Chain A
């Protein structure tokens, strides 16, 4: 298991296997983050692929001023935003999610608890998707990526104070949405 710098150097020397190792290292993390931004796993994978390809092409210009993943995420995040703007007129997040088939499968189990849990997860996921973009991104980076404020600020190119403020407002809004849909 090599570190990022070694893999980047090897990639720049033409070792595509080293780039493959970089992809494997970050693919799940990136797709998880993008899924909450894009609304479906399939779309998240497509955006992630585009981001990795762009990163591969731009790697000679990567100065290493930030961590590789931070740089990669910024590319992916911009790609997701761009894609989202293009798709805005083509359907809601819910419609895309339903079309993706990414919902938890109901395998016909009769246990009421299971059904309730699945429904709850679906509602939470839906509530996150309903947040305004600027709130959803900071929330995903914090709660699902585990990024600290400084990293979020780097990725989104925002002042830390803005990150803190948006994160708080995102949580309040998510709380309100969940209170409405869950009745809690």
Chain B
């Protein structure tokens, strides 16, 4: 006699935690039972809500305070007769001017509501393919497959010193910067970059270090004035469209199968020089391969006075944006999926734009960085 169906199997099914025989059991139940299908859809929608909630990040100087407290506690344990050690609570904000931000709050729960707004503001104009090649990043679609690494002309990032003991590092950095320059957004555009970090790397830590090196502080994820969520919405929609689209509440197995979740996601609005410094810092790791590939350019409507996209007549008066704070904004990586390298998809448009001229160092650019970890 068959046992009654256990609804908790549906939960585990959604989590991908069932063996083949139980998966088949659930699929049979879903096919036969409207109630099971309803529960499945409701639980999946619930997961979607939770996925869009943002992460909380440590406040500036947290690690330094922790190390100080740990060393002090160890000293006290070794010498109990010593006086009471004062340990700064973790939640006390560190000195002003530290580039890493303070608190992060929760992001709004669902992006669905802003899709219409995003659509009104943005038009995705091209989708690239991501990484080109098995291991190393070669040319990219934006550059028409050009693998030549241009001279950066930037003394800070070019290593021409024959005595340098680590030429491979310079090469990796140069390659990453070359890809970045080829992907540079024109005025009125944002670019979505896919960055592959080594398998053992902690994506958040690596990005945090890179942004700190570029002196970029974080904005709160709840700050909707940055435009990040609009770019995010367009990206999500474009990726879903490559797999037949995504209707609310309707599963898209092809999308799940053909993509992989991002390990980290950060939106940056900064001077081009700062962005280059961040990418150089990210790639500047001995013995580790960091790869950068442009995925998509997104047209961005300028905000009044934001100084981005100036010269196109849509950005409003100059001045306000030039003095505005550069920033990064960490987004919940659960919102983003990256097309697997093996997936066969049709780009939204076969027409690639001309190779971009790298912008001047002080020009503001907007970049959405999606991070993936290389396979073990």
Contacts and interface: CB of A to CB of B under 8 A. Distances in A.
Contacts of B104: 41
A35 B56 contact: yes
Nearest to B332: A144
A118 interface: yes
A114 B209 CA distance: 31
A165 B8 contact: yes
A130 interface: no
A95 B156 CA distance: 51
Contacts of B225: 107, 109
A32 B50 CA distance: 13
A169 B11 CA distance: 9
A122 interface: yes
A57 B17 CA distance: 36
Interface string B202-242: 10111011000000000010111100000000000000000
B90 to A, nearest CB: 4
Nearest to A44: B56
Interface string B31-69: 000000000001100110111010111110011111101
Interface string B57-96: 1110011111101110110010000000000011100000
A27 B63 contact: yes
A45 B59 contact: yes
- The size class of the interface chain A forms with chain B is 35 or more
B244 interface: no
B77 A103 contact: no
Interface stretch (B105-113, B163-171, B179-187, B301-309): B105-113
Interface string A43-86: 11110110011001100000000000000000000000000000
Contact of B208 (A24, A123, A143): A24
B12 A164 contact: yes
B317 interface: no
Given A23-B62, A35-B56, A53-B70, A142 B15 contact: yes
Interface in B281-304: 285, 288
B69 A53 contact: yes
Contact of A105 (B8, B200, B220): B220
Nearest to A40: B91
Nearest to A174: B46
A79 B65 CA distance: 18
Given A16-B67, A32-B56, A104 B11 contact: no
Contact of A120 (B47, B58, B77, B110): B110
Contacts of A109: 224-225
Interface in A90-129: 102-105, 107, 109, 113-114, 116-118, 120-125, 128
9 smallest beta-carbon distances between A and B, as pairs:
A117-B108, A49-B90, A168-B8, A56-B70, A42-B91, A168-B11, A45-B90, A104-B222, A27-B58
Given A149-B15, A164-B12, 18 more contacts: A1-B201, A27-B57, A31-B56, A32-B57, A35-B56, A46-B90, A49-B69, A53-B73, A56-B71, A57-B77, A103-B105, A104-B108, A105-B105, A114-B108, A117-B108, A117-B113, A124-B49, A128-B50
Interface of B: 7-8, 10-12, 15, 17, 42-43, 46-47, 49-51, 53, 55-59, 62-67, 69-71, 73-74, 77, 89-91, 103-110, 113-114, 117, 198, 200-202, 204-206, 208-209, 220, 222-225, 285, 288, 334
18 contacts: A3-B200, A24-B202, A25-B205, A28-B208, A45-B62, A45-B90, A46-B89, A48-B58, A53-B70, A56-B74, A103-B105, A104-B220, A117-B109, A148-B17, A149-B17, A174-B46, A175-B42, A175-B46
Interface of A: 1, 3, 16-17, 19-21, 23-29, 31-32, 35, 41-46, 48-49, 52-53, 56-57, 102-105, 107, 109, 113-114, 116-118, 120-125, 128, 139, 142-144, 146, 148-149, 164-165, 167-169, 171, 174-175, 178
